[in-house]
Amino acid sequence: MTAVIETSALTKVYKDFWGRPKHKALDQLSIRIDPGEVFGLIGPNGCGKTTTFKLLLGLIFPTGGQATVLGKPPTDVGVKARLGFLPEESYLYHWLTADETLDFFGRLFHLDRATRKKRADELIERFGLAHARKRQIREYSKGMTRRVGFCQALINDPDLVIFDEPTSGLDPISQRQIKDLILDLKRRGKTVLLSSHLLGDVQDICDRIAILHQGQTKKYGAVRDILVQRDSITMTFKDLSEQGRRRIEDLARAEGARLVRSENTLETLEDVFLRTVQESGDGLTYRPPAKEGEERK
Amino acid sequence: MTTSWVRLWAVASLTLKEALRRRIIFFVLLLFAVALQISAAFFPSLNMIGRLRVMESHSLSITGLFTAIAVLFLAAFSLPGDFEQKRVYYLASKPLSKPTLFLGRLLGFSILVTLFIASMGLITVGYIRIVKLLSGDAFPALVAYPRLTASEFEAVKGQPIPANPDKLFALGGGEATLIWHFNGLRAADFPDRISVLAKIQIASPTDGYRSSGAVRFRVLNHELKRQSEKILPQLNTNEEAEFDISRDILGTGGDLSIGVSCLDSDGLVAGVRNSVVIYHRSANFELNFARGLTLALLQSLLVTALTLMASTVLSAPISVLLGITLYIMGNLHGYVLEGARDIDQTLDQIKAAQGTEKGEQMHTPEDLPPWVLRLSTLSSRAVLKIVPDFKRFDFSLWLLKDRAVSWEELGEAAAGVAPHFLVLTLLGVLIMSFKDFG
Ligand SMILES: Nc1ncnc2c1ncn2[C@@H]1O[C@H](COP(=O)(O)OP(=O)(O)OP(=O)(O)O)[C@@H](O)[C@H]1O
Ligand SMILES: [Mg+2]
């Protein structure tokens, strides 16, 4: 299987105006991302995530090492036809409407008028912008602008999408929608590369991750393999009586295990938030997408 | 390099749409109309021809100024805006090559300049027409006389100037004459009186400071031996001498010769092929206006290309500054070149006088060491090599004298701009190809 993205010892040193090295933003990154994977790049601010994306898009040239995207060098214009990108900061053309923005980007892909219209309609509907599609983007809120950003990234139905901090600036419902979007893309066989500071989300949706620190790769592999604590086990029971719990604990102790923690399971704040908003029924309804194998109603 | 027309046009139309949305086109044209009609304030103190001239010169200067300023700023801020606001991240992640982004912007701004100048021309012509309508018969006719250069130029008993073989001279006092031949003229192309314009150089082989003299013009048709003569006793060098002759002199053959000789025995006349020209019947005023504005367009396109090219590496304010510098240098071209020539001459004199007694005391006029002057002429010549002479694009030189801009003149001006424009475009494409968008 050929990799969708492959880098070997990819290095970037930013230089100043006179060409003197200023900052080593990325140091010997070697990763491989296969088709259909969701890959997460995480790390503290300034660790080189955005730099990696810029290198993969051919926006900047590497100081050392190589990268291939969809089998071609990142500067290859043809590769871009199968790629979608959402930058971390979205400044679009303020004077265009959402419709015009998507039409403009669609034209860069040589999409014909009918296809441009169809794709734009679908995306605008999906990202809940239908009411604002004829308004200029300078009148949009931050989150709305962000959603136009998602629309433009998907206008060409790309095989590979790169999202730089996709959920930043979005409300919890939209964040959840984006998570579902990513899972949906995965289900359709697309490859996703993303960066995020919301580690919970990364853990939920990514198959594999790399953790960067000051440009260096600190961890790289499947999320499960990285997170699993082989000497520790968590079990979740429903309707377990106090007596039953004590008996299980005793049994474990008899087996030589040490009990570290035993408490009631907490719901996540996200689940409570979503349920609350849904119950209040103010139109901001959220419907989870159909699970795999399950019929969509 | 993958440049497709669809993508190029997408970027160009984005550029236009932006200018339209920001109401820039609207405001510039509104301001133009207001500024233009202020010329009416001068009307009370002017006669009718003066009014026409005021409108014409007023219109051309504001057209040049407004277009230059508007485009300068728009072009200078567009690409740096894309970079600083990180819109290039969107653009460069699409199948749009970096050079195409530059070329698309250039195309967009070129169309915008064309729109500006065309609309300003329309407003001007409309305004002049209205004033003419309101002024009645006293208002001069709107005319534009096309210029005709000689098909042949010779010196009878004269000779070429060694330094410039295209330029011929004839010594005064004798038979020596410079002759301009106009062949195959059709009487129908001319009004009753054919006007002749001459710009002759007058000098003396003995007196280096001589710059005027008595000159005789002889117009003849060899076939009919018809002849008319005109003597100007005190013509200055390079002064425009204008006179007219009867159309009858053409006869049926359509050949005409104009001979020029110097009447002073210590003087000489010199000229090139287009030193003497005659004028056709008036061409369409509006059509000529369009051709003339095309000259202004060429100049603005150059300023646009330079500014946009500069903005690929420099910040917007510096690009504006560069554009303005080009504008000023282009307009001062003649002066700077003359100055450089003067200094060179002085330096040559100093060199020649060196070693002699006189050379010991001789200094440059400003008492600067010669190498400073040498450096300054070298650098100003180098700059002038890059910057074309904007006089070539100054339509008022034609318009205010009721002269038509010929297709050849337009073509020459375009050919003069093309290399500059191409080099700037290529530079922009090259810079963009290797630019880090980080
Ligand atoms: N154009 C540039 N010139 C110089 N240094 C830069 C440039 N862009 C980024 N850097 C430096 O490179 C390092 C990595 O930056 P990068 O934007 O890749 O970080 P990041 O991981 O995306 O951070 P964040 O989580 O804040 O988005 C930082 O130290 C930054 O200062
Ligand atoms: Mg970042």
pLDDT in tens, A63-105: 999 999 999 999 898 899 999 999 987 689 999 999 999 999 9
- In chain B, pLDDT over 90 holds for what percent of residues? 45
Q: How far apart are CA A50 and CA A193, in angstroms?
A: 12
Q: Above 80 in pLDDT, residue A276?
A: no
Percent helix / strand / coil, chain B, rounded to 5: 60, 20, 25
Q: What is the mean pLDDT of chain A?
A: 88
Pick the residue from chain B with its C-alpha nearest to A17: B313
pLDDT number for residue B421: 94
| CATH hierarchy code of domain B147-279 | 2.60.120.260
Dihedral over Cα of B359, B362, B364, B367: its sign: positive
CB A10 within 8 A of CB A28: yes
CB B154 within 8 A of CB B147: no
Instruction: Compute CA distances B361 → A244, B29, B348, B369, whole Å.
Output: 119, 60, 15, 13
**B242-255: average pLDDT:** 85
Q: Above 70 in pLDDT, residue B3?
A: no
**CB of A34 closer than 6 angstroms to any ligand 1 atom:** no
Mutate to test the interface with B, among A26, A72, A107 (most CBs of B within 10 A): A107
Query: Do you know the residue count of chain A?
Result: 297
Ligand 1 atom, smallest distance to A43 CA:
21
**What tens digit of pLDDT does each residue of A136-192 get?**
999 999 989 999 999 999 999 999 999 999 998 888 888 999 999 999 999 999 999
pLDDT number for residue A287: 53
A65 sits in the region (left: phi over 0; alpha: psi -120 to 50; else beta) called: left
pLDDT number for residue A185: 95
Q: Is A226 on the interface with B (CB under 8 A)?
A: no
B436·A89 Cβ contact <8 A: no
Q: Above 90 in pLDDT, residue B101?
A: yes
A59·B22 Cβ contact <8 A: no
Instruction: Compute CA distances A166 → A9, A88, A146, A175, whole Å.
Output: 26, 7, 8, 8
Options 3.20.20.80, 3.40.50.620, 3.90.1150.10, 3.40.50.300; CATH for A5-227 is 3.40.50.300
A104·B22 Cβ contact <8 A: no
pLDDT number for residue A296: 41
pLDDT number for residue A288: 52
Which positions in chain A touch B18 (Cβ < 8 Å)?
93, 95
| Residues in contact with A102: Cβ distance below 8 Å, sequence separation at least 6, in sequence order | A116, A119, A120, A123, A124, A148, A151, A152, A155
A85·B87 Cβ contact <8 A: no
Name the residue facing B93 among A60, A61, A80 (closest C-beta): A80
Which positions in chain B touch A110 (Cβ < 8 Å)?
4, 6-7, 95
Quick one: how far is CA A3 from the chain centroid? 19
pLDDT number for residue A145: 92
pLDDT number for residue B355: 62
Q: Above 60 in pLDDT, residue A285?
A: no
Q: How far apart are CA B203 and CA A224, in angstroms?
A: 97
Name the strand (E) or helix (H) holding B203. strand B201-203
pLDDT number for residue A293: 46
Query: Based on C-alpha coordinates, what's the Rg of chain B?
Result: 26
pLDDT number for residue A16: 83
Ligand 1 atom, smallest distance to A44 CA:
25
**CB of A194 closer than 6 angstroms to any ligand 1 atom:** no
pLDDT number for residue B366: 60
pLDDT band (50, 70, 90) for residue B49? confident
CB B290 within 8 A of CB B99: no
Q: Where does residue B314 rank: exposed (0-12), middle (13-18), buried (19+ CB within 10 A)?
A: middle
**Helix B98-135 to helix B407-433 angle, to the nearest 10 degrees?**
150
Pick the residue from chain A with its C-alpha nearest to B12: A104
Q: What is the 3-state secondary structure (H, E, C) of chain A?
A: CCCCEEEEEEEEEEECCCCCEEEEEEEEECCEECCCCEEEEECCCCCCHHHHHHHHCCCCCCCEEEEEECCECCCCHHHHHHEEEECCCCCCCCCCEHHHHHHHHHHHCCCCHHHHHHHHHHHHHHCCCHHHCCCEHHHCCHHHHHHHHHHHHHCCCCCEEEEECCCCCCCHHHHHHHHHHHHHHHHCCCEEEEECCCHHHHHHHCCEEEEEECCEEEEEEEHHHHHCCCCCCCCCCCCCCHHHHHHHHHHHHHCCCCCCCCCCCCCCHHHHHHHHHHHHCCCCCCCCCCCCCCCCC
Residue nearest to atom 28 of ligand 1 (CA): A46
Helix (H, G, I), strand (E, B), or coil: what is residue B361? Answer: helix
> Helix and strand tally (H, E) in chain B?
11, 13
**CB of A196 closer than 6 angstroms to any ligand 1 atom:** no
Look up residue B250 and give its two tokens. 């053409």
A272 CA: distance to closest CA in chain B (Å): 36
Q: Above 90 in pLDDT, residue B384?
A: no
Q: What angle do CA A269, A275, A278 make, to 5 degrees?
A: 140
CB B25 within 8 A of CB B88: no
Q: Above 90 in pLDDT, residue B179?
A: yes
DSSP secondary structure string for all residues of B303-337: HHHHHHHHTTTS-HHHHHHHHHHHHHHHHHHHHHH
**What tens digit of pLDDT does each residue of A189-241 get?**
999 999 999 888 899 899 999 999 999 998 899 988 888 888 888 888 999 99
CB B234 within 8 A of CB B212: yes
Q: Above 60 in pLDDT, residue B11?
A: yes
Q: Above 80 in pLDDT, residue A294?
A: no
B276 sits in the region (left: phi over 0; alpha: psi -120 to 50; else beta) called: beta
Q: Where are the domains of chain B?
A: 2-142+284-335+388-433, 147-279
pLDDT number for residue B364: 56
Residue for token pair 């139309």:
B13
Q: Phi/psi at A154 (nearest 5 deg)?
A: -110, 5
Q: Phi/psi at B427 (nearest 5 deg)?
A: -60, -45
Pick the residue from chain A with its C-alpha nearest to B99: A77
pLDDT band (50, 70, 90) for residue B2? very low
DSSP B180: E
Q: Where are the domains of chain A?
A: 5-227
A104 CA: distance to closest CA in chain B (Å): 6
Closest to A134 (Cα-Cα) out of A111, A102, A157: A102
pLDDT number for residue A70: 94
Which positions in chain B touch A73 (Cβ < 8 Å)?
none
Helix (H, G, I), strand (E, B), or coil: what is residue B227? Answer: strand
Residues on chain B bordering chain A, Cβ-to-Cβ distance under 8 angstroms: 2, 4, 6-7, 10, 14, 17-18, 21-22, 85-97, 436-438
pLDDT band (50, 70, 90) for residue B371? confident
B17·A14 Cβ contact <8 A: no
* Interface ipTM: 0.81
| Sequence letter at residue A214 | Q
Name the strand (E) or helix (H) holding B429. helix B407-433
Name the strand (E) or helix (H) holding B297. helix B285-310
- Compute the half-sphere exposure of residue A117: CA atoms within 13 Å on the CB side of its CA: 3
Question: How far apart are the CA of A86 and the centre of ligand 2, in A?
Answer: 11
Question: How far apart are the CA of A98 and the centre of ligand 2, in A?
Answer: 25
Name the strand (E) or helix (H) holding B151. none
CB B200 within 8 A of CB B270: yes
pLDDT number for residue A123: 95
Bridge partner residues of A160 (DSSP)? A83, A191
B94·A109 Cβ contact <8 A: yes
CB B104 within 8 A of CB B308: no
CB B429 within 8 A of CB A51: no
| Sequence letter at residue B157 | K
Q: Above 70 in pLDDT, residue A18?
A: yes
**A248-275: average pLDDT:** 85
| Residues in contact with A255: Cβ distance below 8 Å, sequence separation at least 6, in sequence order | none
pLDDT band (50, 70, 90) for residue B189? confident
- What are the strands of the beta sheet with B256-262, ordered from one edge? B152-156, B177-182, B256-262, B212-221, B226-236
**What tens digit of pLDDT does each residue of A105-137 get?**
999 999 999 999 999 999 999 999 999 999 999
Q: How far apart are CA B430 and CA B423, in angstroms?
A: 10
Helix (H, G, I), strand (E, B), or coil: what is residue B46? Answer: coil
Dihedral over Cα of A95, A96, A98, A102: its sign: negative
pLDDT number for residue A283: 46
Query: Based on C-alpha coordinates, what's the Rg of chain A?
Result: 22
Look up residue B318 and give its two tokens. 């510096």
pLDDT number for residue A21: 84
pTM of the model: 0.83
pLDDT number for residue B361: 55
CB B424 within 8 A of CB B431: no
- The ligand with the least distance to the CA atom of A47 is 1
Which positions in chain B touch A95 (Cβ < 8 Å)?
17-18, 21-22
Q: Among B35-39, B355-359, B399-403, which stretch is predicted with the lowest mean pLDDT?
A: B355-359
pLDDT number for residue A295: 44
Instruction: Compute CA distances B324 → A180, B19, B304, B318, whole Å.
Output: 54, 21, 11, 10
Q: Is A100 on the interface with B (CB under 8 A)?
A: yes
Q: What is the mean pLDDT of chain B?
A: 88
